[in-house]
Structure 1
Amino acid sequence: MNTRWWQIVVGGALVLVAGLVSITATAVPWSTPVALGLIVVFALFFFTVGKRGLTEPRWAAPLLTAVFALTAVGTALSPNMAVLQAIAYPMIWVVVSDRPLVRPILLNALLAALVALGFYLCFGGGFDALMQAVVIEGISLGLGVGIGVWFSLEMRKSEEKSQLLAELTDAQGQLALLHHEAGAGAERERLALELHDTIAQNLTSVVMLAQRALNRGDDLGAVRDDLGLIEEVARDALTETRVLVAATAPVAVEGGLTHALQRLTRSFERETGILIATDLDDVGAVPRDLQVVLLRCAQEALANVRKHSRATHARLALRRPVHGEGEVELVVSDDGVGISDAAADRGDVGGFGLDGMRQRLAMVSGGLRVAALAHGGTELVATVRTDAARTTADDHGATDSTRAGSTVAGSARTDRTRADHAGTDSTRAGHAATDRTDEG
């Protein structure tokens, strides 16, 4: 606790009381000099070592003893010294605030009794003096205890809230770490399955075809056929590799989401020859986590266009929808073979990766829509929310860590299913290559 303000308050109170005592006449001539002397002694004590009692427990008792003595004895010498109660009562609650409320309440009562005794002696004794002392100190005690109890309870509530907030922040950090580790594990498993069921299958076919070509002997025609099949299967493996690289490329959004999407589309055109038009609106400030999600969705969507659509043209747009305040949309469309509504709903056909995108968007309270276009082709719309509604939804989602864990597990199962389908496609390609070889 910073004691600077306490030093200012105590110093001001001592100067004020010293002035009041100096200008007030008393029945006993020597009482004024003695009262002023007590003020000076207390000031020397407080500003040298006594102020430590505000922060150091071992100095608390000496500080309170000095305050009680100054206030009570001073009141017996001059009634104006009772003004020091204005700092004495609050000081009690500050010094013993970390103890049960009964302690400061008893100390308040003790101070009131001592000051009442001082008033009684100052007023010359008798019943009238006693009644005046009791009334004055009864009011002072009531105010001191009431304000002190209220202040202490509010401080304790504030401390409890701070502690709960710290615990919640720590729990959220641990939960985020667990989710990150689970997501990383699921991603590693997905990549392993993708590599095994696609590229590994194609490479196995290449090895088998190469071995068969070596056994052809002088049959150059059959060897040429085998080499043609090797080239075809190798090209399939190259395509699968490019798809995986595109889906797992490092996310770089340092230059902003718009620049990252422009780099992505330029690279896509160079690698595929598919012409892609861009319509990137100024969507304003978008949190970095949402930028990463949108860029990942764009990578996945363009990978699907490359792998499945057989399109010649594509379009990528970034915009804020007219009827969706606080939302940002990423739209990817093509003029390819299209996708059925049932396949879009299932999200598990041929490794389209739709379930993975849905899971990624759901983690930021977003959504995904996929539909076949009337004139042919497919349109994919990924939506994220950047307003307070997203925060509310995230808060509701964060209250159930089990549900979040199930989501991660479900994502892993979905990735495994997609890998199985991809493996089936690769196996079919291998069988086709073998059949063509047999025909040769």
Structure 2
Amino acid sequence: MTTADDGAADPPDAAPDRYAAVVDDDWERQVVWWDRTFVAIVLLTAVALPSAGQRGPQLWVAYGAMAAILLAYALWGARAARTRDQRTATAYVVVLIAGTAVTVAQNGIATLLLFGAFTQLWMLLDPPRRAVVASVVLAAASTVGISFQGGFDVPTLLQAAPQMAIALAFAVMLGLWVATTMRLSEERARLLGELRDAQAELAESHHAAGVTAERERLAREIHDTLAQGFTSVVTQAQAATAALDRGEQGRARERLVLVEQTARDNLAEARALVAAFAPVPLQGSTLAEALRRLAERFTVETGARVLLDVAGTTAPGGATGHAAADVVLLRAAQEALANVRRHAGAHAVTIRLTHEAPADPAGPAPGVRLEVIDDGRGLSTGHTDGLGLAGMRERVSAVGGTLDVGPGEQGGTRVEVRVPAGDAA
């Protein structure tokens, strides 16, 4: 890279060094959030134990085990996350697995710790095979802990094993995907950096912008697809566990079937994302069909009634006649429904897809409008765009469309997306 004063170029390895600094800074910011999330999980578990009826010595044993986990994290885990030192990481992981197993042995609700524990194994251990081994050990130890509550006999152990096997399978699947995706992403960015290092100052600045844009794109894709899918998996798995506890085998089986289908869809999404293909729901189907499947799944998962109106939107090639715009509309519907699930508490949702043909041929180009309207609690005062809405706004803007989020006419929230149709998209 040159300066206005001397025009001297950096040495050949300067670009990799600069990129490494960017990666380290970004990782440091992510670790800060991991710190907060893990501490929050432990504290929530500590609060949940008395609420679940845990009393006496067992409660204090659980508290002692969780205190040991937090202390080990402060001494070794947090440092290992930032330095990637495997010796320190291994010391912490041993305490994490033992502490989690002891806590789970006191009360089944302590399995909440597994959400943080499985994640940390993949965050701290390298190469991935070490994380796989540690995940298996954690699952086995937790299974023993769960069976310990029922007297540590074979029937109890066999009952706990399938549930933990499901959790282990999803943890390993997600961990391997994240490890592979991040490795490919970083390798690709490093190659781009090496190619652009031989160029002038403008090319170098484009490199920095490309790295940032790539990370933002991956963040949006993960948020819009995999994060929402795995949230659904966790919710349905919890519902299946609750049904099993109540002896409702049929309902549990229904939930597990939905868990399997969602996981398969997520795996397909992951493969499509890595291969840079079109979103899976639009492969071999129209936008209207993809929205119909999305609405049906939302109803099954939440119980909320979804009214889908896609009349007159079966144009050849999709609703807009432009693949990129159809993808934007589908992602917008997914994000809007995810927000309804998380924040609205709605009983009914309307999804409306409408072609807008201009009355005046000389007027604006024809377009397609997507509306998602719920009857929930509505927007909070002074609300701002989160990651989901910000990503949606960028997607819509990229195809020349507009996004409007506001209150519905009869309460709740209304999300409206307008994109050009046909050649205008």
Greater RCO, CA 8 A, separation 6+: 1
TM-score, L = length of structure 1: 0.37
TM-score, L = length of structure 2: 0.38
- Flag the structure with larger Rg: 1
